[in-house]
């Protein structure tokens, strides 16, 4: 018995080996282990991606920055034979053509008018986009009524203010890109709202027209709408009435954008709880008042991200007017890159890179804004 109890006791008589330190959970090494090398396939994937980046990024950087030519007056500045080193992007070409890219062939003494237009537009856009801006109702009137009239007078010319007329065939570059997208947004929002209301209306004929229009326009490519505007609009007008070359694609773009905007707005209308409609009706509001005071303010607010996304699409799609012969930014670049004065192997790529930077900054900025609004609206919904 004694012996048995002794074996039951255990007294440790030597030091236990120290446990290994815990795995790092902080610091760059632990981060790398967790996010880059968590398993063997993951590690291989990481190495493959790093190799891919190694293949792509340094040559791109070298082309656009290190080997690039920044100043010069003609093609000799950008040719490897005359410069005596490998030449990357020819930014001198962009610097030389920058005014053409922005204003097109707009007469040089009148270009201040374009600058004023840009400033007026920037004020309107900022007013509309800044959700806490003072007097946003006034801003809407400014943006949808005052600004279009002012812009037409300013850009096309207005005799009483001694602004000489400027043919739209001289407009070009960023100016046309902005004008086309601004016309798109200014017309598509009100028409889109009307179409969306029509599509949800109880009146069968109104609904039919809205549905047919929306589905028709959304079912065909923009380029066919532009071709139609270009070739068929002049046919539909009575003889002797001509329609401006720039005006035709503008009509096409406005119609096209309205249909897409209508679907976005309809999403907002459908998202409104039924109680809002019923509450408004119980208060005795008529249909227009109910829509104007109760439903639309809320519905449009929740679809701001959708509207901005549609606008990003519209902004990218404005490039298509280049195909029907309007000198937007893309077309001015296409025209300049074949200029014999600047004929070098890298001219095309430089021109495209410039356009890419322009479009990327605009679209990416808008999508950031839309994300911000989305987060803000979601914050209001959180409890």
Partner 1 sequence: MASAANQAPAKASLFYDPKVRGIFFQAILVLVIGFLFYEAITNAVSNLRAAGIASGFGFLTNPAGFDINQQLIPYSSSGSTYREAFVVGLLNTLLVAVIGIFFATILGFIVGIARLSTNWIVAKVSMVYVEIVRNLPLLLQLFFWYNAVLAPLPSPRQSINFGAGFYLNNRGLSLPKPILNDTAWLIPFAFLAGIVLTLLFRAWARRVQEATGRQYPVGLVGLGAILGLPIVIWLVLAAIGGTNPITFDIPEQQRFNLRGGMQVFPEFVALLLGLVTYTAGFIAEVVRAGILAVSRGQTEASYALGLKPSHTLRLVIVPQAMRVIIPPLTSQYLNLTKNSSLAVAIGYPDLVQVFMGTVLNQTGQAVEVVAITMAVYLTISLITSAIMNIYNRRVAIVER
Give the residue with the Cβ less far from partner 1, 153 or 206: 206
Least separation, in Å, of the C-beta of 311 and partner 1?
A: 13
| 107-164-125 Cα angle (round to 5) | 75
| 358/104 Cα distance (integer angstroms) | 16
Of 135, 136, 301, 316, the one binding partner 1 (CB under 8 A) is 316
| Region near partner 1 per CB under 8 A, out of 86-94, 102-110, 276-284, 361-369 | 361-369
**Cβ atoms of 309 and 370 closer than 8 Å:** yes
- If you write DSSP's letter for every residue of 288-302 in order, what string do you get? HHIIIIIIHHHHHHH
Residue 194 CB burial class (10 angstroms; 0-12, 13-18, ≥19): middle
Residues 2-41 that bind partner 1 (CB under 8 A): 35-36, 38
Least separation, in Å, of the C-beta of 359 and partner 1?
A: 5
Question: Residue 200 gets which letter from DSSP?
Answer: T
Which of 160, 148, 155, 149 lies closest to 111 in space, CA to CA?
155
371 binds partner 1 (CB under 8 A): no
Question: Residue 49 gets which letter from DSSP?
Answer: H
Least separation, in Å, of the C-beta of 197 and partner 1?
A: 12
Name the β-bridge partners of 69: 90
Residue 34 falls in which region: left (phi positive, over 0), alpha (psi -120 to 50) or beta: alpha
Give the residue with the Cβ less far from partner 1, 215 or 244: 215
Q: Which two tokens stand for residue 25?
A: 């959970």
Query: Total binding residues for partner 1 by CB under 8 A?
Result: 56
Taken as a whole, the chain contains a residue count of: 383
314 binds partner 1 (CB under 8 A): no
Give the residue with the Cβ less far from partner 1, 66 or 232: 232
Of 227, 298, 369, 377, the one binding partner 1 (CB under 8 A) is 227
* Sequence-separated (6 or more) residues with CB below 8 Å from residue 142: 123, 124, 127
Give the residue with the Cβ less far from partner 1, 154 or 314: 314
Residues 176-205 that bind partner 1 (CB under 8 A): 202-205
Residues 255-284 that bind partner 1 (CB under 8 A): none
Give the residue with the Cβ less far from partner 1, 33 or 111: 33
- Chain contacts with partner 1 (rule: CB under 8 A): 35-36, 38, 42, 45-46, 49-50, 52-53, 202-206, 209, 215-216, 218-224, 227-228, 231-232, 234-239, 312, 316-317, 319-320, 322-323, 330, 334, 337, 345, 348-349, 352, 355-356, 359-360, 363-364, 367
């Amino acid at each position: 018995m004694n012996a048995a109890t002794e074996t039951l006791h255990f007294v440790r008589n030597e030091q236990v080996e120290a446990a290994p330190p815990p795995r790092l959970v902080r610091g760059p090494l632990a981060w790398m282990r967790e996010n880059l090398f968590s398993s063997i396939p993951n590690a291989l994937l990481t190495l493959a991606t790093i190799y891919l980046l190694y293949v792509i990024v340094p040559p791109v950087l070298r082309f656009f920055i290190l080997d690039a030519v920044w100043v010069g007056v003609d093609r000799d500045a950008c040719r490897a034979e005359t410069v005596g080193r490998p030449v990357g992007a020819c930014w001198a070409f962009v610097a030389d053509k920058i005014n053409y890219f922005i204003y097109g062939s707009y007469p040089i003494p009148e270009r201040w008018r374009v600058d004023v237009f840009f400033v007026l537009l920037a004020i309107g856009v900022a007013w509309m986009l800044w959700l806490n801006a003072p007097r946003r109702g006034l801003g809407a009137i400014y943006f949808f009524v005052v600004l279009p009239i002012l812009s037409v007078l300013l850009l096309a010319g207005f005799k009483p203010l001694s602004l000489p007329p400027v043919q739209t065939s001289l407009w070009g570059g960023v100016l046309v890109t902005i004008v086309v997208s601004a016309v798109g947004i200014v017309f598509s929002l009100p028409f889109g709202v009307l179409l969306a209301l029509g599509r949800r209306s109880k009146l069968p004929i109104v609904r039919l027209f809205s549905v047919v229009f929306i589905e028709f326009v959304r079912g065909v490519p923009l380029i066919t709408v532009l071709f139609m505007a270009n070739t068929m609009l002049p046919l539909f007008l009575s003889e002797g009435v001509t329609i401006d070359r720039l005006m035709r694609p503008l009509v096409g773009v406005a119609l096209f954008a309205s249909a897409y905007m209508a679907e976005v707005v309809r999403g907002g209308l459908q998202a409104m709880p039924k109680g809002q409609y019923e509450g408004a009706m119980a208060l005795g509001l008529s249909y227009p008042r109910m829509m104007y005071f109760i439903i639309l303010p809320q519905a449009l607010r929740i679809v701001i991200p959708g509207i901005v996304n549609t606008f990003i699409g519209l902004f990218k799609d404005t490039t298509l007017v280049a195909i029907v012969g309007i000198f937007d930014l893309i077309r001015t670049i296409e025209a300049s890159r074949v200029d014999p004065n600047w004929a070098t192997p890298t001219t095309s790529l430089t021109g495209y890179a410039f356009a890419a930077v322009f479009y990327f900054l605009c679209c990416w900025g808008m999508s950031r804004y839309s994300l911000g609004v989305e987060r803000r609206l979601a914050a209001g919904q959180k409890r």
